[in-house]
Each structure stands twice: as structure tokens, then as C-alpha cells.
């Protein structure tokens, strides 16, 4: 089980975060960036899973700048609420909060970052802007990434997309791949948006397991 801690961003804003520690000495550090549903039971389980693999994990509460303690489910009303919060988010502020999480995860060092849904977009932008504190990045189905292709990652990055994700058509995936020739882009056949989340109807156990294995291997190679 993890614990809730407080982070302080570079502009002085304080936000909550979920911290999960490994049983022994950490072999590396990871920042987990939430979906639009807050640091909910699923994101905490993701953190606990990476901690069980030997990493020190921090998941910042990215919506704290709008409302404290946002923790949503996956019903239609939750989706609408999450989208409303996302629409209010400022990317510069989000990156400040990720930087604070990276500093907490790896004091004096670097951390890997992984994000899902909106967090996948934030992960991409963090890989572009936070090369001094982020060593590598794994982005899962980050909607809106194609809008940031004028920015280039300064650290190794991998992408995960579902072939059936109507919110991120394959034409956008191709544009992302073309703009990032050094990145690895994985497309999971038959998988939809949110395929990693076992609380969603779109959960795809096989795709989730393969993507997690690839992410762990990537982290082990770059920060483990």
C-alpha cells in the first residue's frame, strides 16, 4: 500500500500525490500520470504494480489546481466530468506538477514517466520539456499528441495505441511516428482506447499485458 504525500511545484503550488515504495531498495523511479479520472483506484493499482517490480513510484494529482481530491469512476457522468476538468488544464502548469513529481520520485536523479489517456499526452510533452529530470517516457493512447508535434522529445520514448481507437485515428498515429523517427510506436490490433484499464469496458487483457511488459523492459533498460 502507498501513501498520500504533498508536492510543491516550481510556482509554489502544492498538490497531492500517491507514493508507492518497493519492498527493497529501488532499482529506479517512475512518475505515473493519470487519465482524466484522477488518481483513482486504478491509477493507485498501477503505481502499486510498478512498486512491486522494484520502482519508487509517484502519481501527482493533476487536477488539484482545479479541485482537490478528484477521484472518478468510468460511467458516462464520470467521463463527462473528467473531460470538463481536462478542458480547464493548462499544459505549462501540468508540466510543472510533473516536474515536482519527478523530483520527489528521484531526488538528485532522473525518473521514467508513463501516462495514460490525457496523461499520455502530458507524458509526451514532459519528454520534450523535462529532459533534465526525465530519463525516458512511455505514452499510452495520448489524445491530442498530434497537436504538439512541433515539440520534440529529448529522451527516449515509446508509444502505445489501439488499432480500434476512434478518438486517435491511425492517420494521427502515423503522423506521430513520422514526426518521431527515433521513437518506437506500438499498435495493438483489436484494442480500443483505454485498453490498459481493467475498470473500463475497453480493457484488453492481452494488449495490456504486452504493453506493460514492453514498458517495464524499456524502463529497465533506461532507468533500472
Closest CA to 126 of 171, 93, 173, 87: 93
Whether 165 sits among the annotated catalytic residues: the reply is: yes
Among the listed residues 42, 128, 193, 197, the single catalytic one is 193
Among the listed residues 47, 117, 128, 136, the single catalytic one is 117
Among the listed residues 64, 165, 192, 197, the single catalytic one is 165
Question: CB-based contacts of 188: which residues, under 8 Å, 6+ apart?
Answer: 160, 161, 162, 163, 195, 204, 207, 210, 211
Residue 60 near residue 31, CB atoms below 8 Å = yes
Question: CB-based contacts of 121: which residues, under 8 Å, 6+ apart?
Answer: 115, 139, 142, 143, 144, 145, 148
Whether 132 sits among the annotated catalytic residues: the reply is: no
Continuous segment of H or E residues that includes residue 116: strand 111-116
Distance CA 19, CA 4 (A): 6
Whether 192 sits among the annotated catalytic residues: the reply is: no
Distance CA 121, CA 26 (A): 27
Residues noted as catalytic: 117, 165, 193
Amino acid at each position: 500500500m502507498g501513501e498520500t504525500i504533498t508536492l510543491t511545484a516550481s510556482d509554489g503550488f502544492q498538490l497531492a500525490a500517491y507514493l508507492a515504495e518497493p519492498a527493497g531498495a529501488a532499482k529506479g523511479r517512475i512518475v505515473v500520470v493519470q487519465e482524466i479520472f484522477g488518481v483513482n483506484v486504478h491509477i493507485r493499482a498501477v503505481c502499486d504494480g510498478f512498486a512491486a517490480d522494484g520502482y519508487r513510484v509517484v502519481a501527482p494529482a493533476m487536477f488539484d489546481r482545479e479541485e482537490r481530491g478528484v477521484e472518478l469512476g468510468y460511467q458516462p457522468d464520470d467521463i463527462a466530468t473528467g473531460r470538463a476538468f481536462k478542458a480547464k488544464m493548462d499544459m505549462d502548469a501540468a508540466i510543472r506538477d510533473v516536474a515536482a513529481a519527478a523530483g520527489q520520485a528521484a531526488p538528485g536523479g532522473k525518473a521514467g514517466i508513463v501516462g495514460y489517456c490525457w496523461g499520455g499526452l502530458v507524458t509526451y510533452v514532459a519528454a520534450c520539456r523535462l529532459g533534465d529530470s526525465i530519463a525516458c517516457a512511455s505514452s499510452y493512447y495520448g489524445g491530442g499528441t498530434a497537436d504538439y508535434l512541433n515539440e520534440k522529445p529529448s529522451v527516449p520514448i515509446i508509444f502505445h495505441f489501439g488499432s480500434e481507437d476512434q478518438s486517435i485515428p491511425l492517420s494521427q498515429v502515423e503522423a506521430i511516428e513520422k514526426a518521431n523517427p527515433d521513437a518506437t510506436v506500438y499498435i495493438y490490433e483489436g484494442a480500443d482506447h483505454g485498453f490498459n484499464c481493467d475498470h473500463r469496458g475497453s480493457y484488453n487483457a492481452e494488449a495490456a499485458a504486452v504493453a506493460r511488459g514492453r514498458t517495464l523492459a524499456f524502463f529497465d533498460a533506461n532507468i533500472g
